[in-house]
A and B are shown apart, each in its own frame.
Chain A
Amino acid sequence: MTEAPSPLSLAHPNTDYDVVVIGGGVNGTGVLRDCAIRGLSACLFERNDLAFGASGNSSGMIHGGVRYLTSSPKVTRLSCLDSGYIQRIAPHLLFRIPFIMPIHRSIGSRIFLQLVDAFFGAYDSFQPLKRGRPHTRLTPEQARILEPGLSGDIVGAVTFDEWGIDGARLCTANAVDAHQRGAHVRTHTTVEGLELLSSSPARMAVRWRDRITNQSGSVSTRVVVNASGAWAPLTASLADMPPSVAAVRPGKGIHVVFDRRLSNYAVVAQAIDNRQIFLEPWQNVSILGTTDTDYYGDLDQVTATSDEVRYLIEAIRRVFPSIQNARAIHTFAGVRPTLYAYGPIPDKLSREHEIIDHASHGKDGIYSMIGGKLASYRIFAQQMTDIVAARLDCHQPSQTHLLPLPGGDESLDAGELAKICEIDPVAARRLIYRHGSRARLIAEQIVESKRTPRFICSCEAITEEEIRFVVRHEFVRCFEDLSRRTRLGLGPCAGLHCVLRAGAIVADELGWTPSQGRSQALRLLLSSSFTRAVALGSAQARQEALLRAAIRAQVGWGQEP
């Protein structure tokens, strides 16, 4: 694990920490970073891995919340404003996703087009907050020129502007920054109990257990922030409160990943139940999403089903028929922690966020963060940290919108970087996307090795040096963590060329034996086999058969994992 610097000087020296944050999603890592910047000593516990839940399994957008423009314009404004701030602190992680919304001929479709046009006209007033371009209204001919894959009788189309982001990288960047400022990050460490040690001033004991080493222990803290997303009610119950005090309405959303960018624009389509879904070009793949259904299963094992995949494909197929011949390589699923309400259909639920002070439940010093979305995580974290800081007599204002995230301080030129370490400019661009200015550190390692760069994963252009860097600096404790940070093993080759070698490198970095590295890599293959299976077509099925043949020939089958 990444070596932790010693904690900061405590505002209140009779506890181990000022703040304990539970949950390593975007809200939790956001609060951790804000606390660390303000000089509070903080520790984060995450049961699985950073960005394991909704943060790492979202549509990968910090969109301006246009869906909520009529129902809750406050969400839209906050999202746009915060989206602008995120661009400022992590410019490398953002990429523009232009959307196109074709309107098909039907009764009243022309009037509908007018309405949509006016609606996005209203959205335009928020766009400058996030450096977005104003919407345009297109004739059917213009729409077809811009997006030749569109089918059907279109009366017109509207385009609008959003930003894409890699949610897992965003969480990691927040955690890394917090860590560099003295905060502690403990992943794969579950909290098993929250006990009040004394009431005024409040002191609490947080009992934890490391799920990898099974080591357990307890730390004391002044404040506990429950930022565990869909797990929030479970976390609340650890403090002997009823789970309902931190109730969420768990909404499962799935996405299907295709092997390449299939369209120029993100295409919006209507599903059979009139929900809006989309196919977006995202990094070097396309993502089709999403569903929104109530989820009552195990939060640690959320996977897409083939029903859900077919629902999405059927919807996009009607406006973008070539999807039928596209190659699905992967699916992912997450559970949104939306604000609790009994009655509304999931799509109509509020995306606003809320902070619950559990003093009213007799647990002074515990707060729960409920709801929220990727695009407004920073402001949510700021609001939470404001409360925590005031309580701890810390009067530093938040600076998370001003200070760049790691790698966000300077933009590098991919061509130059490519020349320095003799790699392909495309590979350099991917490297810079993931690491921003920190890509230079990896490039230096490549140069220093005095070897031809070893690309371990050719789907994502990941070198051995990048894997080592990520393992050393980004809290990688098991093989799947590496995959979550870099998307290694999730490309079209399904891990055929990369996982065994990457497993060996992770093993080397973490001091495991080669066979431990191997069995970790195989575990990833097994679990990702489940996520791929539900979207498998004939080309990917053949890839799957080849992958199994390769594993069987080299490693055998059945003993590991």
Chain B
Amino acid sequence: MGTRTVNHHEDVIILGDGAAGVAAAHASLRLGVRPLLISLGNGATTLYSGCLDHGVWNLHPRSSSLDERQKEFIDAIDIWCVDPEKTRVATLAGVVRTADAADRALLNLASHKNETILVPRIDRPNWDADFLARSWSEDLWCREQGLRFESFDASSLDDDRMRFGSDTEIAFHLDSPEGRTKFGEHLSAEVQRHGGGKSVLLGPWLGIDTPVASILTNHIGIQIGEACAGLGSTAGARWEHAANRWLTQQRITRIQDRVQRLEQVDGDWNVHVSQSKRPYQAKAVVVATGGIAGGGIILTSGEPQEGNEQSFSPAHPFSLSYRGPLVLTVDGRISETVASLHGFNLERLAWPRDDHGVWWMDRINVLRDGVQVLDASNNPLAGLFVAGELALKRPAASLASIATGVEAGTAAARYVLTNA
């Protein structure tokens, strides 16, 4: 891939294939405008926890405000369950949290009441059933709900894969019917030995491309589901798989390459990438390359030069990972060159101590009006739109990313249709 040069092949180019990028593709296609995706892969969405929110879950009010286009996208990806009023999941840090939407493989505790939920004791280095059960049972909401968590011996589930494999390796194994069936039988037998139970909480092991949780639940008659991991969990792999499946179904081309430069030429946008000499060209571009975690924004704390004396030159404290006419802002103000040869005062990078403080690096945006990208004099850059973390003042908000993605994809498609 990446050697093919596209000229006016597609109508809109989307940079980034995380939640915002794929949502933009969906929205654009909905209006009949075909998107081309360019991404290096592995952004922040592939590392997400399995929960979708409008903001940091314990600081933002729950909200189900999804419009039709967003709902359609979520239905198309087909891995999430949206029910902000009734979603509670357990995390591997021992916390029970709310979520606006969650991966369907996660066990939704809100549909349980006055019940003991079982947690298998498995010989697995990052799985401490006793601690998890104790910690979840401590949660106030769980106590009000009459939910208790109890660990039980499940040594027949121990094998080398459980001991040494990664979460995704186990999940991949359970994707296979044999692996799944055997796991279900062992689990069911252990639950019987323990004296029975209705629900079992497991780690992030329940399949990547198959709905293992619901298959096994139906098969063994015990409701099983995952606890939510913090980062790099199976939920991210499931998202990748589901996004791939949808993009393939829609025959949307995806180029895996590094974007180097973005420029406007005679009313078109040229996207230069590292593995192809000729640029990709389209009427409109949606930039959804993510923030610091996703790799879309790079921190530069001073630009070292050759030689010994006065070896630094003035620098922007951070930059996009490619060149282009976009202007970066912090809290809405244009980011300037720092008045120091050595970069900005790094003390600013410490986490804020107050409750609602947002980390400095999370407040970096592209200069924009809604999803329309502006130049430094606040004039729209026709045909250039932004989505995801670059268009959000707050972090860790996948539903907000999806919303901006839908917005930007729609705007880009409309732009293409009116300027065709």
Contacts and interface: CB of A to CB of B under 8 A. Distances in A.
Contacts, number: 156
Interface string B347-366: 11111010110010110000
Interface stretch (A115-123, A178-186, A525-533): A525-533
Contacts of A306: 345-347
A261 interface: no
Contact of A554 (B49, B298, B347, B351): B49
A533 B346 CA distance: 6
Contacts of B371: none
Contacts of B347: 305-306, 530, 533-534
**Contact-residue bracket for chain B:** 35 or more
Interface in B123-172: 123-126, 128, 131, 134-135, 138, 163-164
B381 interface: no
A556 B94 contact: no
B212 to A, nearest CB: 22
B396 interface: yes
Contacts of B361: 541, 544-545
Contacts of B325: none
State the main secondary structure of chain B at its contact with A.
loop
Given A496-B231, A529-B351, A536-B346, A553 B164 contact: no
Contacts of A317: 304, 311
A534 B293 CA distance: 19
A199 B361 CA distance: 62
B131 A309 contact: no
Contacts of B345: 306
B125 A453 contact: yes
B350 A529 contact: yes
Nearest to A547: B231
A553 B48 contact: yes
Interface stretch (B1-9, B55-63, B271-279): B55-63
B93 A500 contact: yes
Given A508-B131, A541-B349, A558-B56, A552 B95 contact: no
Given A548-B395, A558-B356, A514 B125 contact: no
A71 to B, nearest CB: 30
A551 interface: yes
A214 interface: no
Contacts of B49: 550, 553-554
Nearest to B293: A545
- With most chain B CB atoms within 10 A of its CB, the pick from A317, A504, A526 is A504
A533 B56 CA distance: 22
Contacts of A209: none
A525 B124 CA distance: 25
State the main secondary structure of chain A at its contact with B.
helix
Contacts of A496: 230-231
Contacts of B56: 552, 556-558
Interface in B213-238: 228-231
Interface string A431-468: 00000000000000000000111110000000000000
A526 B350 CA distance: 8
Interface string B268-311: 00000000000000000000000111010011111010001001
A541 B299 contact: yes
Given A317-B311, A518-B94, A548-B359, 14 more contacts: A306-B347, A514-B138, A530-B350, A533-B346, A533-B347, A533-B348, A549-B230, A552-B57, A554-B93, A555-B95, A557-B56, A557-B58, A558-B58, A559-B355
20 contacts: A306-B347, A452-B163, A454-B126, A500-B230, A504-B135, A514-B135, A515-B138, A533-B351, A536-B346, A538-B298, A538-B301, A542-B292, A542-B299, A549-B44, A550-B230, A551-B230, A552-B395, A554-B91, A554-B229, A556-B59
Interface of A: 152, 305-306, 309-310, 317-318, 324, 451-455, 496, 500-501, 504-505, 508, 513-515, 518, 525-526, 529-530, 532-538, 541-542, 544-546, 548-559
